[in-house]
Chain A
């Protein structure tokens, strides 16, 4: 039985005060908070078996290697990858996207096309623009409608034999829209294109099955799902990972080095040059255990209740406009008060101890679509409460009063 008060005990940070008020943390789409269970794993690593991995014959190195590789298997099982070597540890979603974008440099040529969407985070736009500059491939964009949904009939029109890659987020960070990635993947494969899904915003809410999705690449970050920052993973189908050249050169990623010719290690090490974030990988595994302990169905049901409640309560405030009104969305509400800059609202909310994000959310094309400088974004996690939403609503009303 899900008991939010019980869950909140796992998160010491939720007990602190900000500006003399109890913290109301509603910036979960930027980063989630860390449960004690994950912090304990981090402390245990540095207190008891901190060592460099893979090459050491000594006991500590062996223990650290085992824990790190077990974390890889946990991630493999969680995402239902066929092999553990299809899981590449990265520094996060952005790193994973850049790794793949770099790899395609030798695989694309002039006349090839790659498709992104209007709903993307800059991390899933800029690396592909850079790839286009290197290869003279062309970037195409799936447009969105006013509800903040991608227009699939327009996507269909963009696909052709020239399409080589399709890059879409699973869930929009700015609006919370859940994209129809099953359809997007199927259609892309029908023209022979590979698909990368940016899962930074989906993994805190749902459990993707990469084999069922038949996706070619799936990337995410640990810190959005109760893990540490600077850690993430790239899933790639074995055949694709074998096709892509290494991203960075260095230790760990080699088979044999001579000045005449270096041969590379097999998967996954080919993409893991240098000493990795060992503790981060192990803690990522612990975060996945923690989330699964609560259960993703439970999380989704509860967060949906929070979303519905918050949408209903905020909508009652006169002059409040919500951006992103798809029926298919996660617990993110992007909004503005008519005639008031989101920065002003965020500043007042901060004084009240309420943490939200303001600005363009690294998704300027979406802001351009709505012709606004930015939004206030409240994003809820399973440890938030209805009472916190009441505090938010009161705070927004106060901001409106002070700023009108």
Chain B
């Protein structure tokens, strides 16, 4: 599925919720579906800076697609990274680079986009895109 379609799907799922509580509960549930990073990659080198909680991300390339795995010690953060990975994983690096992240706003998590926000959503997006840049360079 294309990134845009996945994001539309996520927007659609979140549109069912009436209030923040249901949205957060769903985000927490999505955190449980996160493709977990292998223990061997859960190192300080794979930590994302700028998060109050710890977030580890690992990337590898398979058949010209970038596969992301991750983990966090905070469960709301885990939900956020799960949403990002669902949207960006198994995609061509160029598509990841071209993708925008407006959908975060549309699912009512805009407050997490502020650069001062301690969960570092902005840093997470940056890190995923950095991996995409690295793999795109390998391909070209």
Contacts and interface: CB of A to CB of B under 8 A. Distances in A.
A341 B118 contact: no
Contact of A344 (B20, B25, B74): B74
- How many chain B residues sit at the interface, stated as a range, is 10 to 19
A347 interface: yes
B54 A347 contact: no
Nearest to A348: B24
B21 interface: yes
A402 B21 contact: yes
Contacts of B73: 341, 373
A355 to B, nearest CB: 13
Given A373-B73, A403-B75, A343 B52 contact: yes
B53 A341 contact: yes
A402 B28 contact: yes
B24 A341 contact: no
Contacts of B28: 402-403
B47 interface: no
B24 A373 contact: no
A19 interface: yes
Given A344-B74, A344-B75, A358-B118, A19 B20 contact: yes
Contacts of B53: 341, 343-344, 373
B119 interface: yes
B77 interface: yes
21 contacts: A341-B75, A341-B77, A343-B53, A343-B77, A343-B119, A344-B53, A344-B74, A344-B75, A347-B119, A348-B24, A351-B20, A351-B24, A358-B52, A359-B52, A373-B53, A373-B54, A373-B73, A402-B28, A403-B28, A403-B75, A403-B76
Contacts of A343: 52-53, 74, 76-77, 118-119
Interface of A: 19, 340-341, 343-344, 347-348, 351, 358-359, 373-374, 402-403
Contacts of B24: 347-348, 351, 402
A344 B76 contact: yes
A341 B74 contact: yes
B22 to A, nearest CB: 10
A359 B20 contact: no
B21 A359 contact: no
Contacts of A351: 20-21, 24
Nearest to B23: A351
A344 B73 CA distance: 10
A341 B54 CA distance: 10
Contacts of B76: 343-344, 347-348, 403
A333 to B, nearest CB: 19
A19 B108 CA distance: 12
